Amino acid sequence: MTESNRDTQPFLQEVALIVGGGPGISSSCARLFAENGMRVAVAARNPEKAVLETLEKMHGVRRYACDASEPEAVAQLFANVAREIGTPRLVVHNIDGRVPGIFRKGILEADPMMALETIRNSAFSAFLVGQQAARLMLGNEPDVNGTRGTIIFTNASAALKGFPSSGAFAMACHAKSGLAQSMARELMPQGIHVANVPIDAAIGWTQEDGTRAHRLAGTTVDDNMADPVHIAETYLQLHRQHRSTWAFEVVLRPWVEKW
């Protein structure tokens, strides 16, 4: 095939876009999706992170810089991905959104601007990503399952219960759940599968020494933390579900989690 012909060939591989780049869920999803033959893009405020550079070298993952809380940046991200590797059929929004200063702050001491920034980073960025994903996916030809695409929102325990001293995050997570539910009711009849996935657990990702650990919860013991490798498998399974049995909300927690 000549270079000119190659440039005009339609993209035959499925394209997956993961918004939010880190060593846990995002990296596990990127690896798994690439291993399953997808063209994969990961967007992060800092795409120069070592873990993302490794994904590029080892799995051909494309890296993009994007502040997902900025409407123009998100619109440009989707335009760039669609132009360079193809229109996504799978989009994962995987952004926690909390700013460091808001952690464990009671309602009386929480800084209002930090609370607003948390909501903007989390729920508002989910809105922006979901909106752009829907716009592009509605133009996709349905696959053999009648599906135009899948949009998955990673959520947290706070989507299910508002913990003490965590008001800002509870607001953000509840807002993301409401967004996902509204989008699912609107878009699923149009062939776009929307799923909300609260992770009711600490996430222990694999460290350089082979152990799994969380920066606050410590080292994983006897699978007491969620493994992002298996979270990614759930996301891929959601993407492949038959439309007669689409799941909207899937809550993931370790077998020993108290809930």
Segment 54-84, tens digit of pLDDT: 999 999 999 999 999 999 999 999 999 999 9
Give the pLDDT confidence of 161-218 residue by residue, as tens digits: 999 999 999 999 999 999 999 999 999 999 999 999 999 988 876 777 666 666 665 6
What are the C-alpha distances in Å from 201 to residues 108, 190, 220, 255?
26, 33, 11, 10
CA distance 109 to 100: 14
Lowest-pLDDT range, 31-40, 153-162, 207-216?
207-216
Residue 226 phi, psi (nearest 5): -65, 135
Mean pLDDT of the region 38-49: 96
Residue 216 CA, chain-centre distance (Å), reads: 21
CA terminus-to-terminus distance, the chain:
57
Torsion of CA 19, 205, 259, 152, to 10 degrees: 20
Say which residues have a Cβ less than 8 Å from residue 241's Cβ, sequence separation at least 6: 193, 247
CA distance 259 to 255: 10
CA distance 29 to 42: 10
Confidence (pTM)? 0.91
